[in-house]
Amino acid sequence: MKVLMFGWEYPPHVYGGLATANFGITQGLHAQGDIDITLCLPKPFGDEDHTAARIVAMNCVPIAWRNVDYDYVKSRIGNVMDPDYYYRLRDHLYADFNYMYVNELGCMDFAGGYPSNLHDEINNYSIIAGVVARTEDFDIIHAHDWLTYPAGIHAKRVSGKPLCIHVHATDFDRSRGNVNPTVYSIEKDGMDNADCIMCVSELTRQTVINQYHQDPRKCFAMHNAVYPLRQELQDIPRPDHTGKEKIVTFLGRLTMQKGPEYFVEAANMVLHRTRNVRFCMAGSGDMMDQMIYLAAKRGIADRFHFPGFMRGKEVYECLKDSDVYVMPSVSEPFGISPLEAMQCGTPTIISKQSGCGEILTNCIKVDYWDVHALADAIYSICHNDGLFHYLQEEGKKEVDQITWEKVGLRIRKLYDQLLSR
C-alpha cells in the first residue's frame, strides 16, 4: 500500500507537538511492513530520518519549466533530493506558474515553521502538491493538520484517491472559541472533502462533529502514543527529594490554550499553606510577561521560577527533576507531554479537558478552572509518598504500553476499510 502523506514539520526540527506526532505515525505505519510512505515537507533540512518514509522536499519541486543541467541541480538540492527525481517532477507540470516568485530551478521557497505569511505558504504548498500528486503513484492520501488540508484536497482532485485527514488540533482549541474565520474555512473545507477524519482524541472528534458539522460515521478517534525514551535520556538520574523541597513543573507554550494562569493561582494557594515546594514554569509564549507579573502580584516570586524555553535533553532533565508535572490546558486535543513526564517517572496532573486523559488512568485529572482541586492534588502528591510512588510506578507501566506500533495498526485498519469501499 502506498501512502502520500502531507506534513508540515518533522523531527529533528521541532516547532510543536505536530512534528513528534507525525514522526510517530510514520514510524508506526512503517512497522506494519507493507506500507510505503511518501512524506511531503515544506522545508526539510536533509538530516531527517528516512527509514520510515521517503521525504519529498516541497521547496525543491519545480512548478515552472527551467532548463537546468544535472550538475547544477545536484549542487543546489542534492542534499535533500535526487536530481533524477527533480526531472521526473518537471515532467508533470500542470500550469504556468511563472508569475509566482519562483527561483532559477522553478521552485518556490518556504520560510519553514510558522511565519507571518503562513496563508501564502499554505497556498504555495497546495500548488506544489498538484505536481507531486501527478508524479507519484499512490493509493491513499493522508494530510496532517489544517496547514496541509488544501494540498490534500488538491491531490484528491488530481488523483481521485481517498483522502484521510488527521486533526491534531482545531482552531476552537487554540482560540477558546473565538475562531479565526480564515482558519476555520480552511479546516472546514478539508473536513468536508475528506473521506475519513482521524482525530487525536474523542474530545477533538466531538469538536469536529459539533463545530464543523461532520458526519460522525467518518470521524474516528485515533489517540497518539509516545516513543520509548532513548537510553541516554533514561540514564538521566532522578534526584531523590524525600524530605527536601519538592518541585512542581509546568512545561509548555505560555499561551491561553495551555492555561498557565491556573497554574500560578494553584501555586499561590499551595504556597500559602506550605513553603516546602518550588514551582517551575518552563517555556515561553505570549503570556510570559503576564505570568511573571501575576506571580509577583501574588507575592510568590521567590518560589516561582521561569527558566525559559527548553529543548532536547533539557526537557527531560527538567522532567526528571520534578516531583509533579502539571498540564492545566483549557483545551488540549491530545497533549503528548504528560506521557513523556510519566515516562520519566514524574506523577502527572492534567486537566479533564485534555485528550490524553481518555487513555490514561494513572494520573490525576481535574477541571482546568478548578484551582482548588489542582492545588489540592499538588499538595497531596508532595506530601504523601504513597501517592507519589504509586503514580510514579503505575504511570510508567501504563505509558510504556502506549506505542506508535499500535496506533499504526489502527490507522492501517482504517486505510483498509477506506480502500475496500
Partner 1 sequence: MKTICLYFEIHQIVHLKRYRFFDIGTDHYYYDDYENDRSIGEIAERSYMPALNAFLDMIKENGDYFKVAFSLSGVGLEQLELHAPQVIAKLQELNDTGCVEFLAEPYSHGLSSLANDECFIADVRRQMSKMEEYFGKRPTVLRNSSLIYSDEIGNVAASMGFKGMLTEGAKHVLGWKSPHYVYNCCQAPGLKLLLRDIDLSDDISLRFNDSDWEGYPLFADNYVNRIATLPEDEQVINIFMELLALGISQPLSSNILEFIKALPRCARQKGITFSTPSEVCGRMNSVGDLFVPDTLSWVDEERDVSCWLGNPMQREAFDKLYSIADRVRIANDPRINQDWDYLQASNNFRFMTTKPSNVGLDRGIYNSPFDAFTNYMNILGDFINRVNSLYPEEIDNDQLDSLLTTIKNQGDEIQVKDNEIVRLKTRLTKAQEDVDKLNAKLDKLTEKKKAAAAKTTTRKTATSTRKTAKPAAEKADDKK
Q: Helix, strand, coil proportions of the chain in percent (round to 5)?
A: 45, 15, 40
Choose, by CB under 8 A, the member of 297, 389, 397, 413 that binds partner 1.
389
Distance CA 76, CA 87 (A): 14
Choose, by CB under 8 A, the member of 294, 336, 339, 364 that binds partner 1.
364
Q: Does position 202 bind partner 1 by CB under 8 A?
A: no
Distance CA 173, CA 373 (A): 23
Peptide bond into 260 cis (omega under 30): no
Q: Does position 276 bind partner 1 by CB under 8 A?
A: no
Distance CA 226, CA 228 (A): 7
Which one of the spans 127-135, 162-170, 215-223, 374-382 is the region binding partner 1 (CB under 8 A)? 374-382
Q: Residue 335: which residues within 8 A CB-CB, separation 6 or more? A: 17, 327, 329, 350, 354, 355, 356
Distance CA 384, CA 396 (A): 18
Q: Does position 272 bind partner 1 by CB under 8 A?
A: yes
Nearer CB in complex with partner 1: 209/387 = 387
Distance CA 197, CA 217 (A): 9
Taking residues 322 to 361 in sequence order and writing x for each that binds partner 1 by CB under 8 A, - otherwise, the string is ---------------------------------------x
Q: Does position 277 bind partner 1 by CB under 8 A?
A: no
Please name the residue that has the C-alpha cell 519545480: 62
Q: Does position 321 bind partner 1 by CB under 8 A?
A: no
Choose, by CB under 8 A, the member of 372, 397, 413, 417 that binds partner 1.
372
Nearer CB in complex with partner 1: 172/388 = 388
Q: Does position 383 bind partner 1 by CB under 8 A?
A: yes
65 Rama sector, left if φ>0, alpha if ψ -120 to 50, beta otherwise: beta
Choose, by CB under 8 A, the member of 253, 390, 396, 418 that binds partner 1.
390
Q: How far is the CB of 349 from partner 1 (least distance, A)?
A: 9
Q: How far is the CB of 394 from partner 1 (least distance, A)?
A: 7
For the chain, what is the total number of helices (H) and then of strands (E)?
Answer: 16, 13
Q: Does position 369 bind partner 1 by CB under 8 A?
A: no
Q: Strands (DSSP E) along 240-371, which ranges?
A: 246-251, 277-282, 304-308, 324-327, 348-351, 364-366
Choose, by CB under 8 A, the member of 196, 203, 377, 399 that binds partner 1.
377
Choose, by CB under 8 A, the member of 286, 289, 385, 416 that binds partner 1.
385
Q: Does position 386 bind partner 1 by CB under 8 A?
A: yes
Cβ pair 257, 294 in contact under 8 A = no
Residues lying near partner 1 in the complex (CB under 8 A): 269, 272-273, 361, 364-365, 372-373, 375-377, 379-380, 383-387, 389-391, 394
